[in-house]
A and B are shown apart, each in its own frame.
Chain A
Amino acid sequence: MKRAVAFWALTLALGTIGSAYGQGASILVQSTTSTANSGLYDHLLPEFEREEGIRVDVVAVGTGQAIRNARNCDGDVLLVHAKDQEVAFVADGMGVERFDLMYNDFVLVGPVSDPAGISGMADAQEALKRVAEAEKPFASRGDASGTHSAEMALWADAGVNPMAASGAWYRETGSGMGATLNTAVGMEAYALTDRATWVSFANKADFEILVEGDEDLVNQYGVILVNPRRCPSVDAAAGQAFVDWLLSEDGQSVIAEFRVDGQQLFFPNAQD
Chain B
Amino acid sequence: MLSLRVSLTATALACLIGLPLGALLAVARFRGRNALLVLVNALMGLPPVVVGLLVYLHLSRSGPLGFLGLLYTPTAMIVAQTILITPIVVALSRQVLDDLHAEYAEQFRSLCLGRGQAVFALIWDGRYSLMTVGLAGFGRAVAEVGAVIVVGGNIDHLTRVMTTAIALETSKGDLPLALGLGLILMTLALAVNAMVHGLRVTAVRYAHA
Contact = CB atoms under 8 A, between A and B. Distances in A.
A203 B175 CA distance: 7
A182 B170 contact: yes
Interface in A158-188: 176-179, 181-182
A194 to B, nearest CB: 13
A202 B172 contact: yes
Nearest to B153: A59
A133 B9 CA distance: 55
B171 A74 contact: no
Nearest to A13: B1
Given A11-B157, A179-B171, 13 more contacts: A1-B180, A5-B183, A8-B181, A12-B3, A19-B158, A28-B155, A58-B156, A60-B154, A74-B62, A201-B172, A202-B174, A203-B175, A204-B173
Contact of B165 (A2, A12, A73, A74): A12
Contact of B61 (A8, A58, A74, A182): A74
Which of A2, A57, A74, A201 has the most chain B CB atoms inside 10 A of its CB? A74
A57 to B, nearest CB: 4
B36 interface: no
Interface string A188-229: 000000000000111110000000000000000000000000
Contact of A1 (B153, B171, B177): B177
Contacts of B2: 12, 15-16
Contact of A73 (B3, B61, B175): B61
A203 B173 contact: yes
Interface in B46-79: 60-63, 66, 69, 71-72
A9 to B, nearest CB: 6
A14 B72 CA distance: 18
Given A4-B177, A8-B181, A72-B61, A15 B160 contact: yes
Interface of B: 1-3, 5, 60-63, 66, 69, 71-72, 153-158, 160-162, 165, 168, 170-177, 180-181, 183-184
A18 interface: yes
A4 B62 CA distance: 39
Contact of A233 (B66, B157, B161, B171): B66
Contacts of A201: 172-173
A5 B165 contact: no
B78 to A, nearest CB: 13
A182 B173 contact: yes
B134 to A, nearest CB: 22
